[in-house]
Amino acid sequence: MESILRSERAWTTDLRRLLATILFLPLFACAEATPEHCVEVILTGTQGGPPAVNGLAGAGTLIRYGTVENQCNDLQLQFDAGRGTTMRLSQLGLTPNDINAVFLTHMHSDHTEGLAGLMQLRWHYTGGPIALVCAADAEIDGRILSCRAYSEHLGDAFIHAGEIGQRVAENSNRHADGPSGLIEIHEVAETAAPVVVWRSGDVTVSAITTTHIPGSLAYRIDTPAGSVVIGGDAGNEKTAPPRATSTSGAVETLAMGADILVHSAIHPIFAPESGSRFPAVAYLRQSNAKDLGAMAKRAGVGQLILTHLIPSLNTASHGPFSVPGGELSATDFESAAHESGFEGEIHVGRDLLSVRLP
Ligand SMILES: [Zn+2]
């Protein structure tokens, strides 16, 4: 309860600041202007789940923040790092050494496998330590989902192959422990209310535990230029019907009044009863596009970005599963999300799609 109050207080403070800015702007318009800031959301990968389709990169969102003059280029925060993240960053002119922190929504390989490549390259070119924010160990049926173990063993194959030792012998500025040696892990304990997990200057990142697999998190980035929520693969707390919606109550709490909500989306056509043969358990732990529109409306979100699309666009099969009725287009996802009456802007994800605030 205390945490809820604390986060509500933080948002109220933001609102007050905004009002203060509007009211007092004319007074200071002639004075030396403080630099204007911007925040930019860039999808580094939009592939839904483990398949590789049409060259899409695995799930990931880059949040950039900074002054308008510097093209929002002062802070680079990477949320999830699926297959090919480093390649997409290179298309933006960024290297792994430019990333300030990485945040993981959950320990599924479609969200994490690109971190190994990203960190290996950062290590190779002697990049500095980096914060990795993710959930504390979470247990399911006696098995542990562990971001800590993943981060500690990130470079094991390269260590065992002998490459790490060979390259350290060539350049002693490289960390002797390999890529894992650069990671400063920030583990987030299970939390039913948003808690601040990372901060730099006037940028704050909060997290809340969600329902997908144990140890799943959604994040909210608050900046003076706007707020963005990364929902990840979250689904409803009730994991099977009958239920009112497929979307996450936790994400809805976190997304209240946010400017942008970035969320994984599954199309209702992929429901087990439609004949996709997609496993029911996998379908039910995602949010469907139609319900996401309804949630965005309830939460008062300005723009909804659908990513991690299942099924992928313009393909008749998603991995081994055929798409009932044939391939889907971006319009199919957009229409599903609009069905709820959500009147904000909807962006159907494609790799490197970018939305900037203000
Ligand atoms: Zn996923």
- Distance (Å) from CA 20 to ligand 1 centroid: 40
- Distance (Å) from CA 105 to ligand 1 centroid: 9
Instruction: Tell me the average pLDDT across 8-25.
Output: 46
pLDDT value at position 34?
67
pLDDT level of residue 275 (50, 70, 90 thresholds)? confident
Place of tokens 């590789």: 52
- Phi first, then psi, for residue 46 (nearest 5°) are -125, 5
Does some domain include residue 263?
yes
Question: Is the pLDDT reported for residue 12 higher than 60?
Answer: no
- pLDDT per residue over 54-78, tens digit each? 999 999 999 999 999 999 999 999 9
- pLDDT per residue over 179-218, tens digit each? 999 999 999 999 999 999 999 999 999 999 999 999 999 9
- Distance (Å) from CA 33 to ligand 1 centroid: 43
Core vs surface per residue 272-296: b (16+ CB within 10 A) or e: eeeebebeeeebbbbbbbbbbbbbb
- Distance (Å) from CA 111 to ligand 1 centroid: 6
pLDDT value at position 215?
97
Does some domain include residue 131?
yes
Question: Is the pLDDT reported for residue 24 higher than 90?
Answer: no
Instruction: Tell me the average pLDDT across 32-57.
Output: 92
Does some domain include residue 13?
no
Does some domain include residue 3?
no
- Distance (Å) from CA 204 to ligand 1 centroid: 25
- Distance (Å) from CA 200 to ligand 1 centroid: 28
pLDDT value at position 273?
85
- Distance (Å) from CA 122 to ligand 1 centroid: 24
- Distance (Å) from CA 308 to ligand 1 centroid: 7
Q: Residues near 232 by Cβ (< 8 Å), separated by ≥ 6?
A: 80, 105, 106, 111, 210, 212, 216, 217, 218, 219, 263, 264
Does some domain include residue 220?
yes
> Which long-range contacts (C-beta less than 8 Å, at least 24 apart) are formed by 190-195?
190/135, 190/136, 190/138, 191/3, 192/250, 193/1, 193/3, 193/4, 193/7, 193/253, 194/3, 194/4, 194/7, 194/220, 194/253, 194/254, 195/3, 195/7
CATH number of 115's domain = 3.60.15.10
Name the DSSP letter for residue 288: B
Does some domain include residue 180?
yes
Distance between CA atoms of residues 249 and 194, nearest Å: 12
Measured CA distances, 227 to 39, 41, 62, 222, 349 (Å): 8, 10, 14, 4, 19
pLDDT level of residue 329 (50, 70, 90 thresholds)? very high
> Domain range for residue 189?
37-357
Q: Look at 115-119, 320-324, 334-338, 353-357 and tell me which has the smallest mean pLDDT.
A: 320-324
- Distance (Å) from CA 307 to ligand 1 centroid: 10
3-state secondary structure of 199: strand
* Residue 352: how many other CB atoms lie within 10 Å: 15
Distance between CA atoms of residues 248 and 222, nearest Å: 20
- Distance (Å) from CA 109 to ligand 1 centroid: 8
Question: Is the pLDDT reported for residue 19 higher than 60?
Answer: no
- pLDDT per residue over 145-181, tens digit each? 999 999 999 999 999 999 999 999 999 999 999 999 9
C-beta of residue 186 within 8 angstroms of C-beta of residue 197: yes
Domains identified in the chain, total number: 1
pLDDT value at position 35?
77
How much is the mean pLDDT over the chain?
Answer: 92
Does some domain include residue 106?
yes
Does some domain include residue 237?
yes
**The two structure tokens encoding residue 275:** 């004949």
Question: Is the pLDDT reported for residue 319 higher than 80?
Answer: yes
pLDDT value at position 33?
57
Question: Is the pLDDT reported for residue 4 higher than 90?
Answer: no
Question: Is the pLDDT reported for residue 23 higher than 90?
Answer: no
In single-letter form, the type of residue at position 72 comes to C
Place of tokens 């510097």: 70
